[in-house]
């Protein structure tokens, strides 16, 4: 019989205050009438920053600029492992909607770990499977053991209990930020894999926020806060009493991180939203998923041609013309050049 995981924490004044500020800032961000190219740009920037921060926390040496270059398909001077870790993380974040598949389960968590660690582990058979040998979390410089996770034999049971809780009415009754924070910590505590536990835990938290509709547009980079003071991140994680597993202090830290992330996005949105757009009665311009991909393509490549659109979606020439015409009419794109040399840029 499966024993359900039950988190132990209490709401402090700080947690409640931060959650209130998060809700207000999130509302402003998601309802701001800014133009589609900024939507695509904010999403892309958040994914790149997350990939940089989350891998940097675990020792990846690429700079934010190098991660951005890599994300655009450019070659950079770096070790194969560092590049592969970042490319893996980018791929997972870009596919979070498909990987989540509407629900968190053991199958998609194992698949996510396999994608995150592809071609980066000493033993490839450790990718996407729970650990079968005991590991400890230690300081690589001093050799000091910082944390001893549960035994290998306990991992499958503990993971099943955590996943059951994540999908339970109890978890869904909590604020999404609290659910994500609890899941993040418990995953790190279980330490189900030989390596890549931190990255997978942070993706799990991101996926919970995405599935709960909290960050459906993927604007928020939650990992920047943890990377900005890595010792603090590890200190708070390790500060949880292993006898009581009281998560209150950890949740204060986690919720504050979300608040800082959203405040940063809010400031950018306010700067990007022009007076004309803020006063408009139309609000945001709704784009289809296909149209958003066209805008994202231009953000990465500066321009797009009819042929690019045709190749991206395997459309007929007529369907391509219709898609481009729609985006031109609503003021997202404008054409440049003539005849066969015509291409489109963002307005």
Confidence band, pLDDT 50/70/90 cuts, at residue 210:
very high
What backbone phi and psi angles, to 5 degrees, belong to 147? -150, 140
Domain match, 262 and 236 both: yes
Question: Does residue 4 lie within any of the structural domains?
Answer: no
pLDDT in tens, 129-176: 999 988 877 655 566 667 789 999 999 999 999 999 999 999 999 999
For range 179-206, the mean pLDDT? 96
Question: Does residue 45 lie within any of the structural domains?
Answer: yes
User: What is the pLDDT, as a whole number, of residue 275?
Assistant: 43
Domain match, 254 and 307 both: no
Q: State the Cα–Cα distance between residues 161 and 4, nearest whole angstrom.
A: 5
Query: Which of 105, 248, 106 has the alpha carbon at shortest distance from 178?
Result: 248
- Count of CB atoms within 10 A of residue 298's CB? 21
User: What is the pLDDT, as a whole number, of residue 230?
Assistant: 87
Domain match, 244 and 186 both: yes
CATH number at residue 333: 1.10.10.10
- What total number of domains does the chain contain? 2
CATH number at residue 36: 1.10.3290.10
Return left, alpha or beta for 41; rule: phi > 0 is left, psi -120 to 50 is alpha, else beta. Answer: alpha
Which residue among 241, 272, 303 closes a domain? 272
pLDDT at 101 over 90: no
Which residue among 230, 246, 272 closes a domain? 272
pLDDT at 280 over 50: no
Domain match, 20 and 137 both: yes
Q: State the Cα–Cα distance between residues 52 and 45, nearest whole angstrom.
A: 11
For range 50-66, the mean pLDDT? 93
Q: Which residue has the higher pLDDT, 157 or 34?
A: 157
Which residues does residue 246 pair with via DSSP β-bridges, in sequence order? 8
Domain match, 119 and 253 both: yes
User: What is the pLDDT, as a whole number, of residue 138?
Assistant: 65
Task: Of 6-20, 110-124, 292-306, 312-326, give the lowest mean pLDDT range.
Answer: 292-306
Q: What is the pTM of this model?
A: 0.78
For range 249-277, the mean pLDDT? 82
Domain match, 220 and 330 both: no
Question: Does residue 277 lie within any of the structural domains?
Answer: no
User: What is the pLDDT, as a whole number, of residue 256?
Assistant: 97
pLDDT at 335 over 70: yes
Domain match, 58 and 112 both: yes
Domain match, 183 and 261 both: yes
The domain of 133 spans 13-272
Question: Does residue 8 lie within any of the structural domains?
Answer: no
Query: Which of 174, 144, 240, 160 has the alpha carbon at shortest distance from 19?
Result: 174
Domain match, 73 and 185 both: yes
Question: Does residue 7 lie within any of the structural domains?
Answer: no
Burial class (CB in 10 A: 0-12, 13-18, 19+), 58: middle
Which residue among 247, 272, 297 closes a domain? 272
User: What is the pLDDT, as a whole number, of residue 139?
Assistant: 59
Domain match, 227 and 293 both: no
For the chain, where are the E strands, in sequence order?
137-138, 145-147, 333-336, 343-346
pLDDT at 86 over 90: yes
For range 116-120, the mean pLDDT? 97
Note whether 306 and 336 are within 8 A (CB): no
Question: Does residue 2 lie within any of the structural domains?
Answer: no
Note whether 12 and 248 are within 8 A (CB): yes
Q: State the Cα–Cα distance between residues 320 and 304, nearest whole angstrom.
A: 12
Question: Does residue 297 lie within any of the structural domains?
Answer: yes
| Summary mean pLDDT of the chain | 88
Query: Which of 185, 181, 316, 279 has the alpha carbon at shortest distance from 238?
Result: 185
Domain match, 188 and 313 both: no
Question: Does residue 5 lie within any of the structural domains?
Answer: no
Domain match, 151 and 215 both: yes
């Amino acid at each position: 019989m499966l024993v359900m995981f039950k988190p132990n924490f209490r709401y402090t004044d700080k947690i409640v205050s931060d959650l209130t500020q998060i809700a207000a800032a999130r509302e402003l961000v998601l309802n701001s009438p800014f133009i589609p190219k900024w939507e695509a740009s904010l999403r892309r920037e958040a994914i790149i920053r997350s990939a940089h921060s989350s891998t940097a926390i675990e020792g990846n040496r690429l700079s934010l600029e190098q991660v951005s270059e890599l994300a655009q398909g450019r070659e950079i001077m770096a070790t194969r492992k560092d590049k592969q870790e970042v490319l893996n993380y980018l791929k997972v974040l870009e596919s979070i909607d498909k990987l989540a598949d509407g629900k968190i389960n053991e199958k998609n968590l194992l698949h996510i770990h396999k994608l995150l660690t592809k071609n980066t582990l000493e033993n490839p058979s450790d990718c996407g499977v729970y650990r079968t040998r005991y590991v400890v979390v230690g300081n690589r410089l001093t050799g000091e053991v910082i944390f001893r996770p549960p035994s290998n034999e306990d991992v499958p049971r503990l993971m099943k209990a955590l996943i059951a809780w994540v999908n339970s009415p109890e978890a869904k009754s909590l604020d999404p930020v609290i659910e994500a924070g609890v899941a993040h910590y418990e995953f790190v505590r279980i330490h189900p894999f030989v390596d890549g536990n931190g990255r997978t835990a942070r993706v799990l938290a991101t996926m919970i926020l995405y599935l709960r509709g909290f960050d459906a547009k993927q604007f928020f980079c939650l990992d920047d806060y943890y990377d900005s003071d890595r010792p603090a991140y590890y200190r708070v994680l390790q500060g949880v009493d292993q006898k009581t597993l009281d998560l209150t202090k950890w949740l204060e830290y986690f919720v504050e991180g979300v608040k800082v992330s959203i405040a940063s996005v809010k400031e950018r949105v306010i700067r990007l939203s022009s007076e004309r757009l803020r006063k408009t009665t139309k609000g945001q311009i709704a784009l289809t998923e296909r149209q958003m991909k066209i805008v994202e393509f231009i953000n990465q490549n500066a321009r797009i041609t009819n042929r690019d659109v045709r190749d991206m979606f395997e459309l007929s020439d007529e369907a391509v013309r219709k898609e481009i015409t729609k985006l031109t009419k609503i003021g997202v794109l404008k054409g440049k050049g003539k005849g066969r040399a015509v291409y489109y840029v963002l307005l």
